[in-house]
Amino acid sequence: MTPSPVTVFMGTPDFSVPCLLALHEASHAVPLVVTQPDRPKGRGRSLAPPPVKIAAQDLGLAVEQPGTVRDDGFIERIRALAPDFLVVVAFGQILPKALLDIPRRGAVNVHASLLPKYRGPAPIQWAMIRGETETGVTTMLMDIGVDTGDILLQATTIIGPEDTAESMHTRLSQMGSRLLIETLQGMWQGTLYPRTQPAVGVTYAPMLKKEDGHIDWGRPPEKIDMFIRAMTPWPGAFCFLGERRLKILNTQPLTGVNHREAPGTILQGFPDELRVACEGGAILITELQGASGKRLRTADFLRGHPIALGTRLA
């Protein structure tokens, strides 16, 4: 009977969990799961375990949460496990060469883009922000660069008109788990060979900050709509009505709307609508959230907070 590969898994958020579950279902021997330390969460700021820790404990797997993976003692503990593979999925720390060199068959990363596009920590959101119609997942051999390693396999999916970063996150995490198992099987059997990433077409997906969700009404309606979906659920798309911050949750692009108003101006529409001027048309806000923190359809919001025609959203 062929022995199962010995695989050390490193991951932290929800995106990583399907890959860990897939390894377990594929009968990989997983002697250790490495994840980030517990972090304060919620209003009470009590320590909460990362999703990968919860999943690993449910599977009865050993968990370690190093403050830094560059610690010599940690590296030696991984070396002592003699893994065939090191699998890294959204772990959250840059791995040193000393760690990447340990696994006999290689350190494999699952990344949520079609590399070399969108290297970095926020590939799903940036693919949508920049108007891509498709994206995907890539498995690659890790090197000391950020998402610069040789490509192993890729899978593609469309970005649909109803997709948000949240729906893409769910889809790509499931795609990534299947692609990971296919990748490891090919490497284990010696039938899969890496290829160098192309030098052309490289783009980056830097970490998003809360202020990155501020809507620019001077863009075309389709791009604003995709931007809002890209910011869902985090950091959230927002604008200002005077000094009040409005979180915009759902919109519908309107083409063929002629106007001479400045971007962000509320246009004539039905009484229960919010039509906002933008470049080359308008956009219809269908769901939003005000200071109360309650998610409301536009008609319900306007009953308590009417907004006059000609008002400008900033």
At residue 180, the pLDDT reads 98
Residue indicated by tokens 């869902």: 232
| CB-based contacts of 54, cutoff 8 Å, min separation 6 | none
> How does pLDDT run across 22-71, given as a tens digit for each residue?
999 999 999 999 999 999 987 778 899 999 999 999 999 999 999 999 99
Domains and CATH numbers, the chain: 7-189 (3.40.50.170), 210-304 (3.10.25.10)
pLDDT above 70 coverage of the chain, percent = 99
Q: What's the rounded mean pLDDT across residues 273-289?
A: 96
Residue indicated by tokens 């994206």: 135
Residue indicated by tokens 């699952």: 110
pLDDT band at 2 (very low <50, low <70, confident <90, very high): low
pLDDT above 90 coverage of the chain, percent = 92
pTM of the model: 0.94
Average pLDDT along the chain: 95
Asked if the model's pLDDT at residue 1 lies above 60, the reply is no
Q: What's the rounded mean pLDDT across residues 120-138?
A: 97
Long-range pairs of 295-299 with CB within 8 A, sequence gap ≥ 24: 295/249, 298/272, 298/273, 298/274, 299/272
Count how many Cα atoms sit within 13 Å of the Cα of residue 188 in the half-sphere of its side chain.
18
- CB atoms under 10 Å from CB of 294, counted, come to 10
pLDDT band at 255 (very low <50, low <70, confident <90, very high): confident
Q: What's the rounded mean pLDDT across residues 107-112?
A: 98
Query: Dihedral of the CA atoms 189, 13, 49, 75 (nearest 10)?
Result: 50
